[in-house]
Amino acid sequence: MKHGKRTSDSPPYLITVHLKSIEYDTPALLLDMDIAERNINRMGKFFHGKKVHHRPHVKVHKSPYLAHKQIAAGAKGITCAKVTEAEVMANSGIDNILIANQIVGPQKLTRLANLSKNCHIEVLVDNLANAREISTIAANAGSNIDVLLEVNLGSSLEGILDRCGVMSGNDAVKLAHEISQLRNLNFNGLMGYEGALRKFTDHESRKDAVERALGYLVGIKDQVEDSGISVNEVSAGGTMSYNLASQVTGITEIQAGGYIFMDTGYRKAGIDFDFALTLLTSVVSRPKAEKAIVDVGFKAISAEHGMPLIKDMPELECIALNAEHGHLRLRQSGDSPACGDRLEMLPSHVDTTVCLHDNYVLTRTGEVEGTLAIEARGKLQ
C-alpha cells in the first residue's frame, strides 16, 4: 500500500506524514474515504430540499474532520453524546451542537456553560432539578443555553427503547412551562429517540413502530404548543429510521450518524449504505485444518450485535472472540488462509468498535493516504 503526503491545505487534524517504507501493522482500523464520502453525499442528497434537517450524531466517528464533511454536505449541525466530545468539535470550528444527553453536576455544567459562550449549544433535560442547576450555572457564567425536553417514547410503546425522558404529555407541558421561567435558559423544543428498532426485522413492522413512536412525540409537541409554549425543534431519528422518521409531519431534524460507516447490524435490518469501515487483521495460527486464529478480539472489535463478518470471504466465519484473539471457522478445510495472511473484518456495530482505536488508516482507490486521529476518543464526561 502506498502512502500519501501531507498537503498545504490539509486541516491540522488530518495527519498524513508516514514514510512509504512503513507497513501498517495489525489490527488497524481502515476507513475507505471514497465510500465514506459517497455515504455522506448520499445522505446529504436525501435531505436536500426537505423541511426536515439532518443533524448527524458524531459519537459514531468521533472525528471533526468527518463532521465537517457532513456539514459541507448539508447537515445543519451535529449531535454529540458528551460535553467533552462537544468541546472537541467546537474547537474545530463547529458552532451548532446538540448534546443529546442529560448533563448533571457542577463540573460538567460549568464546562457546558463556558462552551455555550462560543457556539450554539442545546442540551436535553427531563427534570426540573437539573434544569434549575443548568440555569444557575449558566447565569453565573454569563451564558445562555438552549434546552430540549426529552420525551420517553418507550414508556408506553412496546418495543421502543425505554430510557430517559418525561413519561407523559402532561409532564412535558408542566416542565416546559417551568423551564420557560428559568433565567439564561431557552426552551427550544422536544427530543425523542425511537431506538431499539433492530428487533423489527421487516420494513412494515419498523415503519409501524416509528410512526407510533414519533406520532406520540408529535402529539406531545401539540400539547405543549396548545398550552402556550412555542416548540421550535422536534429532534428524533437515527440511521435505522431516517427514511421513515423524516416523513412524519412535525419532526424537524434527524440525528442519523451510523450511515457514514455502516455495519453488519444495519445491513441485516435492510439499511443499504455501503461498508466504509473495516478492521485489518492477521492470521496468527492455524491450529486445525478447519480453524484459523486472528489477532483481533474484544479489545479491537465489538460484537454486541453479532460476530463480525470477513469481507469478501464467505468461506470464513468468525465464531468467537477472546480479549486478543478471534476464532475463524473454515466452511471447507484447506491451506488458505495461511499464517501471516491479512483479512478485513466487518463489525456488527461501528460505534463501539471505533472507540477502541486511536486512529483511522485512510485509504482512497485502494491506496493508503495516511492516518486520521480519532480526536474525541475517550471523551466520556
Percent of the chain scoring above 70 in pLDDT: 94
pLDDT, average across residues 186-214: 91
The number of angstroms, rounded, from the C-alpha of 377 to the middle of its chain's C-alpha atoms is: 13
Model pLDDT, residue 367: 87
pLDDT bin (cut points 50, 70, 90) of residue 199 is: confident
- Type of residue at 272: D
The position carrying cell 468461506 is 315
* Helix, coil or strand: residue 285: strand
86 in a structural domain? yes
Going from the C-alpha of 306 to that of each of 59, 160, 266, 275, 346, the distances in angstroms are 20, 20, 11, 16, 11
pLDDT over threshold 60, residue 4: no
pLDDT at residue 3, as a whole number: 29
Q: Would you state the pLDDT for residue 201?
A: 79
The CA angle 203-207-213, to the nearest 5 degrees, is: 145
The three cell numbers locating residue 182: 428559568
pLDDT digits (tens, 9 = 90+) for 263-277: 999 999 899 999 999
For 267, phi then psi, to 5°, come to: -65, -40
Read off the pLDDT band of 5 (50, 70, 90): very low
Domain boundary among 260, 287, 311: 260
| 8 Å CB contact between 180 and 211 | no
Q: What is the pLDDT of residue 159?
A: 82
Let me know: does 333 contact 360? Beta carbons within 8 Å.
no
* pLDDT confidence bin for 366, thresholds 50/70/90: confident
> Which CATH number belongs to the domain containing residue 353 in this structure?
2.40.37.20
Residues 254 and 169 in one domain: yes
DSSP annotation of 269: T
Indicate the pLDDT class of residue 10, thresholds 50, 70 and 90: very low
23 pLDDT band, cuts 50/70/90, is low
Q: Is 199 exposed, middle or buried (0-12, 13-18, 19+ CB in 10 A)?
A: exposed
> Of 213 and 157, which is predicted with more confidence?
213
Instruction: Give the C-alpha separation, 148 to 176, whole Å.
Output: 9
Same domain, 249 and 291: no
18 & 59 share domain: no
Q: Which of 32-41, 130-139, 156-165 has the lowest mean pLDDT?
A: 156-165
Query: 329 - beta bridge partners?
Result: 291, 317
Helix (H, G, I), strand (E, B) or coil at 138: helix
For residues 87 and 227, membership in a common domain is answered with yes
> What pLDDT is attached to residue 299?
98
pLDDT at 155: 82
pLDDT in tens, 285-314: 999 999 999 999 999 999 999 999 999 999
Distance CA 178, CA 173 (A): 9
pLDDT in tens, 59-85: 999 999 999 999 999 999 999 999 999
State whether 75 and 216 are in the same domain. yes
Same domain, yes or no: 61 and 164 = yes
pLDDT at 244: 96
Q: Give the angle 324-330-335 at the CA atoms, nearest 5°.
A: 95
- Residue that has been written with the C-alpha cell 435505522 in this structure: 240
Distance CA 297, CA 284 (A): 12
Q: What is the mean pLDDT of the chain?
A: 92
DSSP bridge pairs for 15: 371
Name the helix (H) or strand (E) containing 162. none
Residue type, 327: H
- Secondary structure class of 114 (helix, strand, coil): helix
- Domain endpoint, select from 199, 229, 260: 260
Letter for the amino acid at 136?
T
The C-alpha cell of 358 is what? Answer: 486511536
Partner residues linked to 343 by β-bridges? 281
Structural domain ending residue among the three candidates 200, 230, 260: 260
| Total tally of structural domains belonging to the chain | 2
What pLDDT is attached to residue 211? 95
Task: Give residue 251's pLDDT.
Answer: 98
Rounded average pLDDT over 352-378: 95
Which residues constitute the domain of residue 349?
14-31+272-373
289 plus 205 within the same structural domain: no
CATH number at residue 250: 3.20.20.10
Same domain, 43 and 147: yes
219 or 18: which carries more pLDDT confidence? 219
Reported as a pLDDT band with limits 50, 70 and 90, residue 175 is very high
- Do residue 341 and residue 245 come from a single domain? no
